[in-house]
Structures are given as structure tokens and as C-alpha cells.
Structure 1
Amino acid sequence: MREQFAECLKDALKAKDTRRISTVRLIQAAIKDRDIANRGAGKDPVDDDGIKQILAKMIKQREESAKIYEDNGRPELAAQEREEIAVINGFLPEQFSEEKVKEVCAKVISETGAHGLRDMGKCMSVLKERYPGQMDFAKASGIVKDLLK
């Protein structure tokens, strides 16, 4: 994925697409920050799944910011956040539909042998490990919670 970011940055620079340039640079900086933190902890550099988790977190942050901007009467800043979300989404695999999320959650619950709400963390960690960037984990946790009741 790192090569994909470098290629995208090169194309954006040629096209003088300032929003895309700044967003890709933000992505690369976030990945480099995680690499540095991992190096300090004696871990390997971030792999593609870790990058997908970083991208999903960046999208969530921008969605929250856009909502705050809209609530405070700053639609131009909210629009910027949404443009960044669109750029970041271009690097992630397609998001699961709600039906697919329910199906995957049910499968993970049966595989882990979860019986109650105390097993919810175990199920969520498996989902985050297997499907980074492919679903909204806040919604997935609600589905898992409903299925475990």
C-alpha cells in the first residue's frame, strides 16, 4: 500500500490537486508516526492491515470534525473534511453492507464460542483483526451486542 500512496502523491502533484496532495501526505505522516512508535516498542513496521486501521481511524476523525463544523455553522470546513474522507476511502477496500456485517458478526460469534456480553471484546478483536477498514466497528459492536443478548 505504501507504493500506492507514493504513486497517488506523484499523480496528484502532476495534476496540482491540492486536496489530494495534502491528504496523501497526512496519510503518509500517520503511517510514519506509527512506524516510529513501533520501532520504539521493538515491533515491526506497520503492515497493510495496520495501514487500513490507520485509514479507518482517520475517516472516523474527519466524520466527527465535519459534524462539529456543520453544527457550528462552518459548512466550508465540513466540505473540506468530506473531501478528505473521499480521498482516504479510495485506498480502503469496499465497505461491507449491513447484511454482510451481520453475517460476519454471527460467524465470528459462533467461531469464538461467545455466549454472553462478557465475550463481546473477544468477538470485536477478531473482527478488527480479520476485517480492518471493511466495516464500521461502532455499528458492528452494536450488532454483536444484540446477537449476544
Structure 2
Amino acid sequence: MTLKKQLKDDLTAAIKARDEIRSSTIRLTLTAITNAEVAGKEARELSEDEVRAVITREAKKRREAADAFAQAGRTESAARERAEGEVLAGYLPQPLGDDELAALVAEAVKEAAAGGAEGPRAMGAVMKIVNPKVAGRAEGGRVAAAVKRALVG
């Protein structure tokens, strides 16, 4: 079953169960997917990876909004955003732990060094190697920080 089909089925189930948070979150995510499909010069069907990228983007928006609400003292709104983020997290692959990320980065650094890249200037080469391996499982900033630590430290 495709991810988009699963979202549609889960939306139907959430509506029947009268789960307002789940249904509204899935509805907004499906809208974001549709918007991505019709963006550009002609409409097209998104691949599984592109759908996953849209869900990841939506989850990141929820995390950032929850942080902003929490800092502003709006705990109720922050809690809702966190709940929506948890719904979306169920459709994403398990995030990489720090140890797993460090191991992937170390492997990529060795691979880049074999190609002649070393030191802090190898950042781009290492990122090119490691990004496809961690796609959707770790945020870019976190990956970049891990690469920088591995190259400098």
C-alpha cells in the first residue's frame, strides 16, 4: 500500500472514530501532498520518497510551531502541535540515533578520504556520501553537525 493511500485510509478511520486531531492533521498533510503534486508547470503523481519528504516537512513545521508556542507561554497550542507531530511521526521511518548517525558519518569520512578529500574542506564530499544514506531519518542540520565533529574532532 502506498503512503498516500494509507493516509487516505487512516483519514477515513479517524473521521469515523471522531478523532479530531488525527483527522485534521492527516487532512492538512494530504492537502500539502496535493499542493506539491500540482505545483510546477503540470500536475504529476508524487513518488513515495517525495510524499515522505512532504510528511517530513509537515512534521518539522509542527515541531517548530510547538517550540514557538511553548516559548510564548501558549501551552495548549504547543501541546496540540506536539500531538499533530506525533501523528505524522507514525508515517515516517524511525529517526537515527546518535550512535547510528556517528557510525554512518565515520564510514562516509573514510570513503571521502579514500577519494582524496580530508580535513574541514571535505565537508561537501562527506555530505554527498552520507545524505542519501540518512534521507528522511535525520535532519540536515544534525547531519552537518555530526560531519563537522567527525572532520574537525
Same structural fold, with TM-score higher than 0.5 when normalized by the shorter chain: yes
Q: 1:2 to 1:79 in 2, by over 3 A?
A: same
Query: What are the Cα deviations for residues 27-59 of structure 1, in whole angstroms up to 9, with x where unaligned?
Result: 11111111112x52x695321112222222222
**Number of equivalenced pairs:** 147
The aligned residue for residue 67 of structure 1 is 67
The aligned residue for residue 95 of structure 2 is 95
Distance 1:127 1:44 in 2: 29
Instruction: Please say if residues 13 and 21 of structure 1, whose CA atoms lie closer than 8 Å, have aligned partners that are also in contact.
Output: yes
1:2 aligned onto 2:27: no
Structure 1 segment 101-112 matched on structure 2, within 5 A: 101-112=101-112
Q: Which runs of 5+ in 2 are unaligned?
A: none
Distance 1:143 1:15 in 2: 42
Instruction: Please say if residues 96 and 135 of structure 1, whose CA atoms lie closer than 8 Å, have aligned partners that are also in contact.
Output: yes
Q: 1:74 to 1:48 in 2, by over 3 A?
A: same
The aligned residue for residue 52 of structure 1 is 52
Query: What are the Cα deviations for residues 50-92 of structure 1, in whole angstroms up to 9, with x where unaligned?
Result: 2222222222221111111111110000001000010000001
Q: Which runs of 5+ in 1 are unaligned?
A: none
Give the TM-score taking structure 2 as reference length: 0.84
Distance 1:116 1:35 in 2: 41
The aligned residue for residue 33 of structure 1 is 35
Give the TM-score taking structure 1 as reference length: 0.86
Distance 1:43 1:122 in 2: 34
Larger radius of gyration between Structure 1 and Structure 2: 2
Distance 1:8 1:59 in 2: 17
- Over the aligned positions, Cα root-mean-square deviation in angstroms equals 2.1
The aligned residue for residue 21 of structure 1 is 23
| CA apart distance, 1:10 | 1.1
Q: 1:124 to 1:27 in 2, by over 3 A?
A: farther
